[in-house]
């Protein structure tokens, strides 16, 4: 009886050891697979440069631009895209209800950016121009002329108003996120 019990004990130990080794190998394999294969639903967060580029592109499609670019968004879609981008960028904002609110939040991304060149020209030349940020609806206008002046401005959206010698005014709202040329024809 003694040899039979020893044999059973030996066989049980071998089977148990085999199960432990197999389970351990599967667990290690599973952990290794998880480390090597990223989960498809986990995206890496965008870099600051990527966010900056997306903000610039969205501002250049703002519904307030005039003349309106062919790829401009309507106000509702612009607000949705701005909210989505700002949330994706982990930016804490209040409720954005208007395009101007969205522009103001998006322009914060450019607050640390260096100034860009804005060239203001007209036909005829030498006309007076007023300009200010689109979101600064109560702020004072800056003054310049269209004598092929190159201004250094913050990279945001601007409203330019040009007046000819007869008092006729023309207005443009331009994205100067990467520099811009504003041209008035009378």
Q: What span, in angstroms and rounded, lies between the C-alpha atoms of 133 and 173? A: 9
79 burial type by CB count under 10 A (0-12 exposed, 13-18 middle, 19+ buried): buried
CATH architecture of 116-185: Sandwich (2.60)
pLDDT of residue 123: 94
Domain segments of the chain as ranges: 48-110, 116-185
pTM: 0.72
The answer to whether 131 touches 160, Cβ cutoff 8 Å, is: yes
pLDDT mean values, one per 10 residues, the chain (186 residues): 48 47 46 42 75 91 93 94 84 82 89 91 95 93 88 95 96 95 96
Contact 82, 102 (CB under 8 A): yes
**With contact defined as beta carbons under 8 Å apart, do 60 and 116 qualify?**
no
**Residue 150, beta-bridge partner list:** 119
């Amino acid at each position: 009886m003694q040899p039979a019990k020893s044999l059973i004990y030996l066989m049980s130990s071998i089977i148990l050891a085999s199960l432990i080794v197999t389970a351990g190998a599967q667990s290690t394999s599973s952990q290794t697979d998880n480390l090597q294969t990223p989960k498809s639903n986990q995206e890496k967060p965008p870099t600051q440069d990527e966010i900056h580029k997306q903000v610039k592109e969205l501002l250049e499609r703002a519904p307030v631009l005039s003349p309106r670019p062919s790829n401009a968004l309507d106000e509702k879609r612009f607000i949705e895209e701005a909210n989505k981008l700002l949330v994706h960028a982990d930016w804490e904002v209040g409720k954005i209800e208007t395009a101007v609110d969205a522009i103001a939040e998006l322009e914060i991304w450019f607050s640390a950016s260096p100034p860009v060149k804005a060239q203001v020209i007209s036909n005829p030349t030498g006309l007076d121009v007023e300009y200010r940020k689109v979101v600064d609806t109560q702020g004072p206008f800056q003054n310049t002329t269209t004598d092929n002046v190159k201004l250094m401005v913050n990279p945001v959206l601007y409203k330019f108003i040009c007046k000819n010698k007869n008092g006729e005014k023309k207005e443009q709202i331009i994205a100067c996120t990467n520099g811009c040329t504003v041209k008035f024809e009378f």
